[in-house]
Amino acid sequence: MYDVITLGSNTIDAFVYTDKNESISIKTMVSEETYISYPLGSKLLINDLDFYTGGGGTNSSICLARMGLRVAYIGKLGNDGNGMMILDELKKENVDFLGEISSLPEEKTGYSVVLDSIEHNRTILSFRGANDTLDYSKINREKLKTKWFYLSTMMGKSFEALEYIASYANENKIRVIFNPNNSICEKGAAYLEKILKNTEIFILNSEEASLLTGKNDSGKNMAALKELGPKVVIITDGKKPINCIDYDNNHYVVHPLDIRVIEATGAGDSFASTFLAGLIKTKDIEFSLKLAIVNSHSVLKYKGAKNKLLTYDDAVKIAAESKIRIEKHKIS
């Protein structure tokens, strides 16, 4: 019996560091956007290069396993060197692989090029590859023995696997947490209906919440998203306060600490999966929110989406000493 089975993407992330890029801002009447730019026709020597595994499915499964839970991961890998690297890492981190390895040589493992900018924000060039073709009929139902499913984003044909697992969970009384990304939220609330009606905990960022509700107010969006099925809704907003509404309609506003960010990939994944780990271990929402912030801060302080995911004991120690502020009131 697993505590959690996660579904979502896997990638190899190549982090490219160069001081040879410029940032360019383009202003229009309604917005201002910043771009990373490189001179055309030139060859640029880069300063450094790092490879790490990434993707919402593996980030969350490894986060949960480090927290001491029994975890498996469902996703699709290419039958290639990068796929084997991901399998090795899952094994090393005590995560069982229950997914599919592609039988098509041309179907490659997902890959992302993460371009660092002078402001240490980043642009990601993302190749989804095998991630988009998971065939849910190939998932071994005998192995779906778990207390929770953690669903993150799956696109293309693999989206059907998320819908399938959400209804399987409902039929088998398995609890569901859902942490979508921007691209899936762009498709709108109706597209996610089958998943949301079987979701117990829904965690997303403020931009994703606005895409689903058409509104910008996180306070109102929590209530609107709760109407779609989830019993707990958490809206994160980078360094700005987190809004959470729980089972009993308590509203929490949580203030992340002011930290120096080294590299932002994986913050959202570690936040959502650590919240779940906290809840599984203690059933305490306030404590789980604190624990989630502590682990996301640890990830923000290092390069790579899984560095440095904390163990449960270390996260508990840091949370006990931290000055994270939480306001709580009941919504009538």
**Smallest separation (angstroms) from Mg ion to the CB of 182:** 8
Find the residue with minimal CB distance to Mg ion: 268
Cis peptide preceding 157, ω within 30 of 0: no
Side-chain half-sphere of 281: how many Cα atoms within 13 Å? 23
For the bound state, the minimum distance from the C-beta of residue 170 to ligand ATP, rounded and expressed in Å, comes to: 25
The residue (of 84 and 253) whose beta carbon lies closer to ligand ATP is: 253
Region of 15-23, 93-101, 265-273, 311-319 interacting with ligand ATP (CB under 6 A): 265-273
**Choice from 54, 78, 180, 256 touching ligand ATP (CB under 6 A):** 256
User: Binding residues for Mg ion, per CB under 5 A?
Assistant: 268
Is 205 near ligand ATP (CB under 6 A)?
A: yes
When binding is defined by CB under 6 A, the residue of 6, 11, 146, 296 that contacts ligand ATP is 296
- Considering the rule CB under 6 A, would residue 271 count as an interface residue with ligand ATP? yes
Q: Would you say 109 and 11 are in contact if contact means Cβ atoms under 8 Å apart? A: yes
Contact pattern from residue 217 through residue 246 relative to ligand ATP, giving x for each residue in contact according to CB under 6 A and a dash for the rest: -------------------xxxx--x----
* 138 touches 41 (CB < 8 A): no
* Token pair belonging to 308: 């440095």
| Sequence-ordered strand ranges (E) for the chain | 2-7, 11-17, 22-27, 32-37, 48-54, 71-74, 76-77, 95-97, 100-101, 111-116, 122-127, 146-151, 175-178, 201-205, 232-237, 240-245, 250-255, 325-330
Task: Provide the 8-state DSSP code for 136.
Answer: G
The reply to whether 138 sits near ligand ATP by the rule CB under 6 A is: no
Which parts of this chain interact with ligand ATP (CB under 6 A)? 205, 236-239, 242, 256, 259, 261, 266-269, 271, 293, 296-297, 300
